[in-house]
């Protein structure tokens, strides 16, 4: 009889421990795992651009200096522009590259911001931003010619 009572008490204690799960490792819920991943991604999203990218102001400032110095030295627009644009692209780094329009606007902003330093360069800025209406008209004309060529080929 004593043995039966002892076994019953042990069984009750085991059931109590099993129900409360004192010794079992609880699995994380789906929401807890999602929150952890979201927190990690948010932290990476904030700190990665700060660590990877270089100062954009320095790249555009030196790009403007390259462009203006070469133009002042007598070089043509194309060679000066290519040198400045290549430098800005290289300094920007990262996943996304700088477009020619962005680089031209960075050079323009730097020249305007630092008027005393680049006073001789203002006259060359019009070549960085060609006539937009002329560009659109030329593109429309080119598309029209392509359509005509396609029609001729079909016939």
**Residue 99 included in any domain:** yes
Given this model, what pLDDT does residue 152 score? 85
Does 13 reside within a domain?
no
Range of the domain at 74: 56-131
Assigned domain for 11 exists: no
6-29 tens-digit pLDDT: 556 655 665 555 555 555 455 667
CB-CB contact of 94 with 52 (8 Å): yes
* Structural domain total, the chain: 1
Interior CA angle at 110 toward 108 and 113, to 5°? 105
Cα angle vertex 153, ends 150, 155, to 5°? 115
**Is 24 contained in some domain?**
no
Q: What is the pTM of this model?
A: 0.51
Inside any domain, residue 144: no
Whether 81 is covered by a domain: the verdict is: yes
- Which residues of the chain are under the pLDDT cut of 50? 2, 24, 54
Q: What is the pLDDT of residue 50?
A: 60
Asked if residue 50 belongs to a domain, the reply is no
């Amino acid at each position: 009889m004593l043995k039966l009572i002892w076994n019953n008490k042990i069984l009750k204690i085991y059931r109590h421990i099993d129900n409360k799960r004192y010794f079992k490792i609880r699995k994380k819920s789906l929401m807890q795992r999602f929150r952890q991943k979201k927190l990690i991604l948010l932290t990476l999203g904030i700190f990665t651009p700060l660590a990877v990218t270089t100062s954009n102001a320095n790249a555009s400032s030196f790009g403007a200096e390259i462009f203006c110095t070469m133009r002042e030295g007598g070089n043509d627009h194309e060679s000066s522009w290519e040198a400045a644009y290549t430098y800005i692209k290289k300094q920007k780094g990262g996943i996304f590259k700088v477009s020619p329009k962005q680089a031209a606007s960075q050079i323009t902003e730097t020249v305007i911001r630092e008027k005393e330093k680049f006073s001789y360069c203002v006259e060359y800025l019009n070549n960085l931003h060609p006539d937009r209406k002329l560009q659109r008209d030329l593109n429309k004309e080119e598309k029209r010619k392509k359509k005509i060529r396609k029609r001729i080929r079909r016939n």
